[in-house]
Chain A
Amino acid sequence: MTVPLALLGLLEREPSHGYDLKRDYDAFFGRGKPLPFGQVYSTLGRLARDGKVTGQSEPGDGPERKRYAITPLGRQEVAAWLTEPVAAEPYLQTVLFTKVVLALMLGRDAAGYLDGQRATHMRRMRELAEVKRGGSLTDALLADHAMFHLEADLRWIDVTQARLGALAETVRAS
C-alpha cells in the first residue's frame, strides 16, 4: 500500500527512470525485501493512468526508456499522505518509517507528523483502555494485545523523534 506513495515521494525529489526509483526504494525502504522490477513498472503505469505521474520516452540505442515525473495531482497526494496520521493499528512500522524518511527527504514537517501520529495512537490507547474497563476478560485480553503493539509503535515514535536530526542528516546525505 505504501509502494505507490513511496515512489511518488521519490519522484517529488526529481524525475527519475524506473531503474533509479527501484534502486532508491530498495536503499531507503527495501530492508532486505527489494521491490521487483515488475512491480515498479506496473505501479508507475497505474500512477500514469491516474494522472499522478507522466512518463516521457527517451530515444536511445537500447530498449526504450521512460523518464517519470510527478504531476501536481501526485504532489498533492504525497503532501496529504505525509501529514495524515495512520489509523492506529498493530504492525505499522513500514508505513510509519516510510512517512518519516520521505518527509525528511522532501523537507516536510516530520516532527509534526510524528506528534500527530503519537496523538492518534494515544487516542486509540484510550479507547482500548475504556474497552478493558467495561468489557469481559476476553475483551480485556484482546484489548491488551492491541495496546502492547501500539505501545511498541509509541516507543518507536519517541525514539525516532529524539533522533530526527541525525536521521535527517543520514537521509539527506544518501
Chain B
Amino acid sequence: MILEAREVSRSYGSTPALREANLSVTAGEVLAVMGPSGSGKSTLLHCLAGIFTPDSGEVWFDGSRLDTLDDARRSELRRTAFGFVFQFGQLVPELTAADNVMLPLLLGRTRRKHAERRAAEWLERLELGDLGGRRTGELSGGQAQRVAIARALVTRPRVVFADEPTGSLDSLTGEHVMDLLVGLAREEGATVIVVTHDARVAACADREVMVRDGRVCDPYVTGTVR
C-alpha cells in the first residue's frame, strides 16, 4: 500500500467535509475518486497529499505517517515525492512552458542546464516540443494542461494527484490529456489519484471509489459488486 487514509475527518468551520473516510491505494494503481460536488472528494485528495491536515484520523504514505510531519517536511515530500495537476491556475502565465516545467526542479536545486534538458524531454513527451518558448498564458487549455502534466511528472514523483484535470476541456481534448497523463504515469511507475465527476475520465483508471457525504464508498470492498 503506498497511500492510506484511516478514519480521516476534516471540517470547514462547523461543516464536516470528511467523516472518518478510509481509503487504500496500491503502488502503481490509477484510482478515480468520484462523487457529487461538495461530497468531500477534493478535501480527501488534499488530505492524502499532505496539503490539509486532518482534524482526526491518520494518513500514511509508504509506511510512514504523513499527517504528523511538520510543515517543512510535508512541503519537501510534496515537492519530491508528489506531483499535482489541477483544473486551473497552477502555471505561472508570465513564464514560458519550459520555465514552468523546470520550476520544481530548480526549487529542488537541480542545476539549470540539467533542468532545461529534462524540461525539454518532458515537453517532447507531452507533444509540446515546439512550444517550450511560449508563455503559458498564450497556450490553449489543452496545451496548458499538458504543460501542467509535464511539470507534475518532471520530478519523477511516486504519486500524482490530479483534481478535475480535464474539467475545463472539451471531451476530445480532455480524453487526449487523460491518455497522456495515465500513459506516462504508468511508464514512470507512478501512482495516480484523479478526482473527477466525469465517468469517461474515471474509465481511464484501474478502479473507482465514490465519496458521498464525506465517506468513501467502494462497492468492490463493501460487497455490493460481485
Q: Which residues of A contact B (CB under 8 A)?
A: 85, 112-113, 115-116, 118-122, 125-126, 128-129, 133, 147, 150-151, 154-155, 158, 161-162
Contacts and interface: CB of A to CB of B under 8 A. Distances in A.
Closest 6 CB pairs of A and B: A125-B203, A129-B203, A116-B224, A119-B225, A115-B219, A119-B219
Contact of A147 (B36, B203, B222): B203
17 contacts: A85-B225, A112-B224, A113-B224, A115-B210, A115-B217, A115-B224, A115-B225, A118-B210, A118-B219, A119-B219, A122-B199, A122-B202, A122-B208, A125-B199, A125-B200, A125-B203, A128-B203
Contacts of A162: 36
A92 to B, nearest CB: 15
Interface of B: 36, 179, 199-200, 202-206, 208, 210, 212, 217, 219-220, 222, 224-226
Main secondary structure of the interface of B (DSSP, over half): mixed
B19 to A, nearest CB: 17
A72 B212 CA distance: 36
Contacts of B205: 126
Given A85-B225, A119-B220, A158-B36, A150 B199 contact: yes
A147 to B, nearest CB: 6
Main secondary structure of the interface of A (DSSP, over half): helix
Contacts of A133: 179
A121 B212 CA distance: 18
Nearest to A152: B199
Nearest to B179: A133
Q: Which of A120, A126, A147 has the most CB of B within 10 A?
A: A126
A115 B222 contact: yes
A66 B40 CA distance: 54
Contacts of B203: 122, 125-126, 128-129, 147
Q: Which of B200, B204, B205, B217 has the most CB of A within 10 A?
A: B200
A112 B179 CA distance: 31
Nearest to A120: B225
Nearest to B206: A126
Nearest to A153: B199
Given A115-B217, A116-B226, A125-B199, 6 more contacts: A115-B210, A115-B219, A122-B202, A125-B200, A126-B205, A155-B199
Nearest to B212: A161
Contacts of B199: 121-122, 125, 150-151, 154-155
A37 B220 CA distance: 42
A117 to B, nearest CB: 9
A132 to B, nearest CB: 8
A115 B220 CA distance: 9
A155 B206 CA distance: 20
B225 A116 contact: yes
Contacts of B202: 122, 125
Nearest to A114: B224
B204 A129 contact: yes
